[in-house]
Amino acid sequence: MIIPILATLTVIIVTAILLKVVFARRLKGRRILLVGLSDAGKTLMFSQLHSGMKIMTQTSMKENKGLMSIEDGKMSDYSQLGAHQPGSPREKQAVVELVDVPGHERLRSQILEKNKQGVRGIIVVVDSVNFPTESRDVAELVYDMLADSTFCCYRVPLVVACNKQDMVTAKSANVIGSQLEKEINALRVTRSAALEGIDNTNVGSKNTFIGKEGKDFEFSQVSNSVSLIECSCKRNTGDEADLEAVKDWIKGVF
């Protein structure tokens, strides 16, 4: 009797492991999310990464989706990949799906829920000029991304893209990173207090504790890889955007 029982348990365990591996591979797709507050420059960054074009943008009410490619270490517009046959192994390896998520909080939550499966990486676009007045809101957004059960479980890498670095009043990535850690540290206190007297089984990711208890928060404490980079989308037609750090990061997560 022992041998059949052990054999059955072995089959169950192996099946569970295989299902987990298959699900993880399916979940870890080719989607890059661009999130951030309104007017941070998400849509302008999306358009430049997708097509290399600068467009006049306005507050988005729905997500923008587009494809881009990573080819021979360079970024190129997917629409120019005429040499690739649809569905070919080379194309599947090169193509990245970009999703520009609206900055409005209610819309952002709904669209994130629809698009969180298959996420390979998250770009949090930050307005480096207005950051001093928006630091709390940016910290809440970053907190929610790091506390999300799906992103946390699959260790989806996140980068804080400090935009508008061409402006003299822009804060550096180091300054923004330090301030975000302080804001998130304070947020942990208020959100932990919100959990008191609440059944934890019904609490969403917005109140999940991140980092190490008893220590001030640092990005190095979370399971996700967190990076900070400086960039500039530049609205003016004659100005050249500086998105090399963003492109390098995208290539790195693939």
pLDDT digits (tens, 9 = 90+) for 179-201: 999 999 999 988 877 665 555 44
What is the rounded distance in angstroms from the CA atom of residue 243 to the CA atom of residue 245? 5
Pull the structure tokens for residue 122: 């998250």
Assigned superfamily of 31-71+87-253: P-loop containing nucleotide triphosphate hydrolases (3.40.50.300)
Q: In this structure, are residues 39 and 235 in contact, taking their beta carbons and an 8 Å threshold?
A: no
Distance CA 162, CA 231 (A): 6
Query: What letter does residue 215 receive in the DSSP assignment?
Result: S
Q: Are 125 and 228 in contact (CB under 8 A)?
A: no
Highest mean pLDDT among 72-76, 111-115, 118-122: 118-122
Whole-structure pTM value: 0.79
Q: What is the pLDDT of residues 207-247, one digit of tens each?
A: 688 999 889 999 999 999 999 999 998 865 556 778 999 99
Inter-CA distances, 12 with 17, 21, 254, Å: 9, 14, 32
